[in-house]
Amino acid sequence: MSVKFNFSDELKNTNGELLIILATLPIYFFFPLITLLIWIFYHCYFKEYKILTILLIALTFGLVASTTKSISVEMTDIERYKTAYLKLVDVSSFNDLLYQTVIVSGEINILFIAINFLFTRLFPTYFPIMPFFWVTVTYVFCLLTYYQYAKVIALSKGEYAFYFVVVALLGIPFYQTTETIKQCSAIAIMGYALVLNSQDKKSGLIWLIVSLLVHLSGLFLLPVYFLMRKKWVINYFIPMFLIALAISFVNVNDVFTTLLGDYLGVGFKERAELYADYNWNLSRRFYLILVLYGIMVLFLLFSQSKNVIKNIDLKVFNRLLNMNVLAFLFLLINRSNVHNFVRYTLTYFPFYILITLQILNVDLVKKQKIVLWLFFVAFFAYSNLLLLQLRTTAEIGYANSYMNNSIVDLITSNWIDYLTFK
């Protein structure tokens, strides 16, 4: 007697979905990068286990990140993270950790340090666990942000799948997640907190606190969280923009250390002064990102004023629009501080993802919407891919490698190959 297996019927039973995921795990062990596409398909097609498939997708990017090495003349941040990790190995107790990192060095990223300290107890000589874990965190929360936002807009299964692929593969700058590790993780968690806040989810505040404990860069974005629910933000955009534009000609870190320097710890004050003194030569790409982000904000403000928003709770849309208005103004304010401007421009990807998705809610002719949306997506995707291409080229003087930048090795390596890579 023959037994027929109907894939669609099996998927009606969520246990069937779980069995299929479990059956795919051996393939994932031998070919993790190839299996990434399978996890994406499962996430978009299955009715259940959305969070599990997001975790599996994120783990794949974390696995690649675990092979990060600096290959240029100038040492990249991954080497500095490694040095800091190995220093934690010699710390004898958690009390000593707090004293040396917070009191002496001025470190205030308590959760980031505490988790890394735990890793040094479990894996004292295995630094790759650090980028593996934190890059996974970044991808988990960015994909959760999209998943949470998609719950309140009308998307077909095909549309959801298309936008999910764009976010997962093009919307998150992989190189940056392995360079400014803790800031990327913190901003990704904050992006999720902001979406929850827009939907009246009380857990948003918890994730906001978590993001601040990972990296304090989110502290300056606190007004975004607490003001995004205020109706007046949109109405006062022009005066707020003019004020932000005026402040953008002043180095805010200089002002900050001058006004509060006497109240800060020595380590914290020295770090703030260091960030104020950066003098990098910026490419036009950074300013272009700022301008394009501003154009997207203006487009949504105009669309909202014309009442052409559809397929979403208008309250949620307005809160997210407020969020992007405030985030844009904050980025503009930091224009004269090179360090802050570069760091925030490169780690703002949760905001870029959300504002690009908001364009889907503007009631335009379908062809116009597609052209407009693809233009913005193409720009950010090109920017992210260009950054990856440049920062994996040793000749430019500042670059990383991932599995020795060998496409063949990336595709054919199994989990053990990745985890034991040196």
pLDDT attached to residue 272: 54
373 closest CA partner among 365, 7, 149:
365
| Confidence class for position 3, pLDDT limits 50, 70, 90 | very low
Does residue 7 have a pLDDT over 60?
A: no
pLDDT attached to residue 108: 75
Q: pLDDT tens-digit profile of 57-108?
A: 999 999 999 999 999 989 999 999 999 999 899 888 888 887 777 766 666 7
Does residue 6 have a pLDDT over 90?
A: no
The answer to whether 182 and 215 are in contact (CB under 8 A) is yes
Q: What spatial distance separates the first Cα and last Cα of the chain, rounded to whole Å? A: 53
314-326 average pLDDT score: 96
CA–CA separation, 409 and 64 (whole Å): 11
Does residue 309 have a pLDDT over 50?
A: yes
Q: pLDDT tens-digit profile of 337-394?
A: 888 899 999 999 999 999 999 998 998 877 787 888 888 889 888 888 989 998 999 8
CA–CA separation, 157 and 154 (whole Å): 10
60 closest CA partner among 82, 35, 42:
35
Contacts of 386 (CB under 8 A, 6+ apart): 285
CA angle 347, 350, 355 (to 5 degrees): 125
Q: What is the helix, strand, coil percentage profile of the chain, to 5?
A: 75, 0, 20
Highest mean pLDDT (candidates 85-94, 95-104, 184-193, 229-238): 184-193
Q: For the residues of 163-197, what is the DSSP string, one character each?
A: HHHHIIIIIS-HHHHTTSHHHHHHHHHHHHHHHHH
Mean pLDDT of the chain: 88
Does residue 214 have a pLDDT over 80?
A: yes
Local structure of 281: helix, strand or coil: coil
pLDDT attached to residue 77: 94
Domain boundaries of the chain, sorted by first residue: 7-419
pLDDT attached to residue 97: 82
CA distances from 142 to 136, 137, 254 (A): 10, 9, 32
pLDDT attached to residue 85: 93
CA distances from 37 to 347, 411, 414 (A): 25, 12, 15
144-157 average pLDDT score: 91
| Confidence class for position 174, pLDDT limits 50, 70, 90 | very high
CA distances from 309 to 156, 227, 269, 286 (A): 18, 21, 46, 30
Q: Is 140 exposed, middle or buried (0-12, 13-18, 19+ CB in 10 A)?
A: buried
pLDDT attached to residue 2: 41
250-271 average pLDDT score: 61
The answer to whether 195 and 146 are in contact (CB under 8 A) is no
Q: b/e map of 45-76 (b: 16 or more CB within 10 Å)?
A: ebeebbebbbbbbbbbbbbbbbbbbbbbeeeb
CA–CA separation, 116 and 129 (whole Å): 9
268-285 average pLDDT score: 60
| Lowest-confidence region among 5-14, 178-187, 190-199, 203-212 | 5-14
What are the two backbone dihedrals, phi and then psi, of residue 376, each rounded to the nearest 5 degrees? -65, -45
34-56 average pLDDT score: 95
234-254 average pLDDT score: 89
Does residue 4 have a pLDDT over 50?
A: no
Does residue 36 have a pLDDT over 50?
A: yes
pLDDT attached to residue 122: 95
219-226 average pLDDT score: 90
Does residue 270 have a pLDDT over 80?
A: no
CA–CA separation, 379 and 359 (whole Å): 15
Q: State percent of the chain over pLDDT 90.
A: 65
Q: For the residues of 358-401, what is the DSSP string, one character each?
A: HGGGB---HHHHHHHHHHHHHHHHHHHHHHHHHTT-GGGSS-EE
Does residue 34 have a pLDDT over 90?
A: yes
127 closest CA partner among 183, 174, 80:
80
| Lowest-confidence region among 44-58, 156-170, 272-286 | 272-286
pLDDT attached to residue 14: 60
Does residue 208 have a pLDDT over 60?
A: yes
Does residue 237 have a pLDDT over 50?
A: yes
Does residue 275 have a pLDDT over 60?
A: no
